[in-house]
Structure 1
């Protein structure tokens, strides 16, 4: 099954997206990506969900992948704008494209932040947060990794953004290039003791308290970043949502390692993808109280 590729207008820019459309689909799943990760990384997982009976929509945040302009120099967008604007744009597009079908979401890392913070989450029947955590650097597991992350975010990122006008992640082996505003806002949050919960402009605690949809929060015990402490820092603010937490050991899933990125690799299909698809199907078929009057 091949997806349809298209662009969603976003002011003077566009968000590049892909859609797997399934005849007789039970629901539509939105897949919110991680930072510096393009939608192609999620294609295998999206195809699996499509074969399981879901329409699936993937996309790239503005400034990345197929949503990247010709030049990132001077391109103005922040991580907050990704969460507030890009997520809303894609959610509304999917709602219009597949009217009447339940909406579900899977968010990877910052994609899980988007589920927690976006007002559009009120439209979701349920959602899955994968390796999503409050990214304060003091929670990173391992002294060497913690200092490496601090150096990249607090020293290297401001320097390179100043020189190039954007974060040249590809040149230094750190994933995709990122717009300057995204990189610097993210780096600033990671230096705060409670991540963006300490940024009054985000108002994260109040916004997360609005979420009432059932959430499956997945972490992996070999992930140095989204470790239990960091996941707890995020998930503890979802005070009005039914949250099911699951910290997976790779051996339980029949794989040697998962880490921060491994859930979306094919080796996790037999166990973890199957379990997530079943969880999404269950909640797609159950009306959530927030949607009862819709």
Structure 2
């Protein structure tokens, strides 16, 4: 274990345990919170977190309720909702970072759904910088050709049927995601069936996208199946009052054949994309 990394449990407003890992840099004046992608455990981000810590950035990672070390008991009996991952779990971590690091620059890197959840956390308005990585709308209409059919069937048939009969979404059996609590899976599928995504299900006074005014860098990758460029553009546009910088990158920019949805945060890109992210976090 990294001697500068320690595990901490904090509790959201429902007194649900949120398991965090803190990579604390002694020379840091920046604290970075990583909001994970859907069904991705915080351990996936450890390599990048250690890299950031070695370069003078303190990092907090965490597992959402019902995922990884924040799962208490059997997933079949977990009652968490997707919206609570943003307005309770991420919110609790942001508030903790404000209290623990009062004089630090506060940054959140939201990967995929983590970027969506930023707009549901009330304390996101107090952030100094946001990095959106492959953060998108999941509405199936943003995909093209046969991929559009696949996504339509995913949200209209696969998710509803499996969660109904099994009692949770057993995504760990056939994907890179951890299995998802029933309410999380059903809520996500509902959002992804709607062209206006989550915005038709959450009242405007409980969303904070247009209240955030800090600098935002939104990054997407041309070969990312899970985040087509138009879906990323759509979500980025919801941060209407932020200073937005939009970057759409190609594998050829880094002399590689693929990047996709996850590889940018793997050590293969330590000397390229990781350095780019580091610069954006510190700006």
Place the TM-score, normalised by the shorter chain, in its bin: over 0.9
Find the counterpart in structure 1 of residue 260 from structure 2.
Answer: 259
Partner SS state of residue 8, structure 1: strand
**Cα gap change, 1:33/1:204 in structure 2, threshold over 3 Å: closer, same or farther?**
farther
Choose the corresponding residue for 1:33, options 33, 36, 39.
36
Choose the corresponding residue for 1:175, options 162, 174, 177.
177
User: TM-score, normalising length from structure 2?
Assistant: 0.93
Task: Answer with 91-100 or 13-22: which moved more.
Answer: 91-100
Q: Post-superposition shift, 1:64?
A: 0.4
Task: Answer with 253-262 or 29-38: which moved more.
Answer: 253-262
Q: Residues 130-181 of structure 1, C-alpha deviation per residue, up to 9 Å, x if partnerless?
A: 000111011124x333222322322121122122211111123352010111
Q: Residues 105-139 of structure 1, C-alpha deviation per residue, up to 9 Å, x if partnerless?
A: 10101111122332211221111000001110111
Find the counterpart in structure 2 of residue 292 from structure 1.
Answer: none
Aligned equivalents of 1:168, 1:278: Cα separation in 2: 38
Choose the corresponding residue for 1:156, options 155, 158, 170.
158
Q: Residues 156-212 of structure 1, C-alpha deviation per residue, up to 9 Å, x if partnerless?
A: 211221222111111233520101111001000111112123x14253996311110
Q: What 5-or-longer segments of structure 1 have no aligned partner? A: 283-294
1:120 aligns with 2:123: yes
Choose the corresponding residue for 2:105, options 102, 106, 113.
102
Partner SS state of residue 187, structure 2: helix
Aligned equivalents of 2:68, 2:248: Cα separation in 1: 30
Aligned equivalents of 1:93, 1:206: Cα separation in 2: 20
Find the counterpart in structure 1 of residue 225 from structure 2.
Answer: 224
Contact 1:104–1:124 (Cα < 8 Å) also in 2: yes
Aligned equivalents of 2:205, 2:215: Cα separation in 1: 19
**Count of residue pairs the alignment pairs up:** 280
Choose the corresponding residue for 1:18, options 2, 17, 21.
21
Aligned equivalents of 2:36, 2:66: Cα separation in 1: 13
Find the counterpart in structure 2 of residue 165 from structure 1.
Answer: 167
Partner SS state of residue 216, structure 1: strand
